[in-house]
Amino acid sequence: MLPFLESHFGNPSSSHAMGNYCHDAIEESRVHLANLIGASPSEIYFTSGGTESNNLVIKGIFFDPQHQEGQLITSCFEHPAIKEPARFHQSNGGNVLYLDADSHGTVDLNQLEATINSNTKLVSIMHANNEIGTIQPLKAISEICRRSAIKLHTDAAQSLGKIQTNVDELGVDFLTIAGHKLYAPKGIGALYIRNGLSLVPSIHGANHEKGVRPGTENVPYIVGLGVAAKLAKEKETESPKLMESLRDTFQQYVTDQIGSGITVNGNHTNRLPNTSSINFPNVVASQMLQTIPQLCLSTGAACHSGSVSLSDTLSAIGLTEAVGAGTVRFSCGRYSTAEEINTAATLLVTAWKECHESN
């Protein structure tokens, strides 16, 4: 990225040599991203991140005058970048249906099939859950959508770079990419739009990104995303195995040390290789994590004045407030080491014991 911050600062829409150099760099990044998801470069549109990509799809479908009151089907545990545009669609007179999930966090396919109707215009289901890692059966969802000629979108922010993600194998029409989830900078993303489909733009301007996302391109960040996609493609077989091994080692140590009462959320055989959502018994997770500031971890519930507010995901899988209060999400990365994992596991177990004994 550095040359594009220091010297190659031409406008990629300009016809002079400096502009052409930046234009070519953008197109190279488009190729890398397309290769990562099995798409054509012409199907990749650069955005500011996953939130914008999700908004472009939902609003782009329902801004069409013929679809303004159409039905959107999504899951009960989507990221706010889906839930909020869905609520916006609802406020404009549209209909939104939220699919339930089972105790592993998998959407109810029977419910999906039963609720699709002639007014359904879009189904949007995340590829993998950001809290518990469960991977959704998108291929099966796609087959249901195809039978009724319904467009399918997936937010793949969590899965890209962690598991192989191919748009044709998944059968999706739109796919959201968040750059910082695969080691690109924050503030850059992309949207896959299957050739032949169109969206009503959320913003209007010149013909950047073929008019889908007008505005002069952020060349350094697009270059960063392209290189990140290239590296992810090179490591798409090796990285998942490494992360899964580290995650399982961590999880096994923690569960062995704590024993009775500790549980793990999500589908144990079909989830992201780097993610582990663990319910620590008889503690409040936020209090436990305050004792180990050297670890960057997140909880699954907010606790205020003795009350517990579970996340949508934990509520969807049926966790009680007592169990959810002790939920911690752990995730490792491509560059995590065995030493770091062992240190984290030891610190967590020690913190749990101290909090458990003080309760």
Report how far residue 193's alpha carbon sits from residue 44's, in angstroms, rounded to the nearest whole number: 7
Angstrom CA distances, 202 to 29, 132, 330, stand at 24, 32, 35
Please report the pLDDT score of residue 307 as a whole number: 65
| Structure-block tokens of residue 125 | 């289901």
Report how far residue 245's alpha carbon sits from residue 305's, in angstroms, rounded to the nearest whole number: 39
Report how far residue 176's alpha carbon sits from residue 187's, in angstroms, rounded to the nearest whole number: 14
pLDDT tens-place string over residues 219-235:
999 999 999 999 999 99
Contacts of 152 (CB under 8 A, 6+ apart): 122, 123, 124, 125, 138, 141, 142, 145, 171, 172, 173, 174
pTM of the predicted model as reported, rounded to 2 decimal places: 0.96
Please report the pLDDT score of residue 221 as a whole number: 98
For residue 48, give the nearest of 226, 223, 213, 229 by alpha carbon. 213
Angstrom CA distances, 39 to 33, 165, 246, 249, 324, stand at 8, 10, 31, 35, 39
For residue 79, give the nearest of 125, 139, 145 by alpha carbon. 125
Could you say which of 76, 303, 332, 355 is catalytic? Answer: 303
Report how far residue 158's alpha carbon sits from residue 127's, in angstroms, rounded to the nearest whole number: 8
Please report the pLDDT score of residue 305 as a whole number: 52
Contacts of 306 (CB under 8 A, 6+ apart): none
For residue 178, give the nearest of 268, 50, 270, 285 by alpha carbon. 50
Average pLDDT over residues 174-197: 98
Residue 306: pLDDT over 90: no
Query: What top-level class would CATH report for the domain 2-234?
Result: alpha beta
Residue 138: pLDDT over 80: yes
Q: Tell me the residue ranges of DSSP E strands in the chain.
A: 44-47, 71-75, 95-99, 120-124, 151-155, 174-178, 189-193, 263-264, 275-279, 298-299, 301-304, 307-310, 327-331
Rounded to the nearest integer, the mean pLDDT of the chain is: 95
Q: 């009724």: which residue's tokens?
A: 148
Residues pairing with 120 in the sheet: 71
Residues pairing with 294 in the sheet: none
Residue 304: pLDDT over 60: no
Domain segments of the chain: what residues?
2-234, 238-358
| Structure-block tokens of residue 94 | 């549209």
pLDDT bin (cut points 50, 70, 90) of residue 301 is confident
Average pLDDT over residues 299-325: 85
Residues pairing with 192 in the sheet: 44, 175
Average pLDDT over residues 19-38: 97
Q: What is the dihedral of CA 183, 225, 189, 30, to 10 degrees?
A: -150
Residue 293: pLDDT over 70: yes
pLDDT bin (cut points 50, 70, 90) of residue 37 is very high
Q: How many C-alpha atoms does 126 have within 13 Å on its Cβ side?
A: 30
Query: What top-level class would CATH report for the domain 238-358?
Result: alpha beta
Report how far residue 79's alpha carbon sits from residue 159's, in angstroms, rounded to the nearest whole number: 14
Please report the pLDDT score of residue 144 as a whole number: 98
- 76: annotated active-site residue: no
Q: How many C-alpha atoms does 118 have within 13 Å on its Cβ side?
A: 0
For residue 203, give the nearest of 211, 194, 192 by alpha carbon. 211
Average pLDDT over residues 17-22: 94
Please report the pLDDT score of residue 177 as a whole number: 98
| Structure-block tokens of residue 140 | 């099966």
